[in-house]
Structure formats: structure tokens, C-alpha cells
């Protein structure tokens, strides 16, 4: 587990029952830190789609990134982007209806 993953592991899960990026209903749970990288017991977020479709697919293919700073934020990129690079990019947005 790298330093970025360690920082995310203490963040709370965000599972409101809709996609936290686009608001679509019937989400699937996504481990913010991949289970294969030590995130099995880490925070999860609700995303639409599955491993290859929707926001969940974008997250699995490194086109949707998450960070926690006084709440969950996300960044969607056009191309697959390493997390360390994404953290330096502009355009991070608060997750949809996080306060509910």
C-alpha cells in the first residue's frame, strides 16, 4: 500500500444509495483503494455501473479518481491517469448530494 492509499484508508465510506458522481440510482459499491492493494477493509463509495461500465468502469480504468478533504471529492479525466498525477490536476468536484 502506498502513501496515497494509506491516507484514504481512514476516510469514511459514502454509500447513500445513488452514484456519488452522477446521481444515478441502483449503484454498486466501489473500494476506493483496490482490494488487491490492501483496501479490503477500506472505504467504499456508491457508483453507477459495474467494473467496465458507468462511473464504476471509469474508476476501474483510472479515469475517475477520489480524494477525501473535508468530504469526498472526485475528478474525471479523459484518459487513464495515475492517481499521483490526478491529485495535481484542477477540476476536483464535491460528490453528489454528499450531505444527505
Residue 55 lies in a domain: yes
Domain tally for the chain? Answer: 1
Is the per-residue pLDDT at 22 higher than 90? yes
Q: Are 65 and 5 in contact (CB under 8 A)?
A: no
Domain of 9 in residue numbering reads as: 3-94
Contacts of 31 by beta carbon, 8 Å cutoff, 6+ apart = 39, 40, 42, 43, 44
Is the per-residue pLDDT at 40 higher than 80? no
Residue 80 lies in a domain: yes
Q: What is d(CA 80, CA 60) in angstroms, rounded to the nearest whole number? A: 10
Q: Are 91 and 83 in contact (CB under 8 A)?
A: no
pLDDT in tens, 45-62: 999 998 789 999 999 999
pLDDT in tens, 65-90: 999 988 999 999 999 999 999 999 99
Grid cell of 71 as nine digits = 468530504
Say what the pTM is: 0.88
Helices (H), 1-100: 3-9, 54-60, 83-87
Amino acid at each position: 500500500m502506498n502513501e496515497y492509499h494509506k491516507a484514504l484508508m481512514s476516510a469514511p465510506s459514502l454509500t447513500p444509495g445513488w452514484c456519488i458522481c452522477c446521481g444515478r440510482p441502483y449503484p454498486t459499491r466501489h473500494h476506493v483503494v483496490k482490494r488487491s492493494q490492501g483496501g479490503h477493509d477500506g472505504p467504499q463509495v456508491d457508483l453507477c455501473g459495474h467494473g467496465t461500465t458507468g462511473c464504476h468502469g471509469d474508476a476501474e480504468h483510472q479515469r475517475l479518481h477520489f480524494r477525501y478533504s473535508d468530504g469526498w471529492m472526485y475528478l474525471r479525466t479523459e484518459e487513464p491517469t495515475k492517481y499521483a498525477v490526478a491529485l495535481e490536476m484542477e477540476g476536483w468536484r464535491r460528490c453528489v448530494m454528499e450531505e444527505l
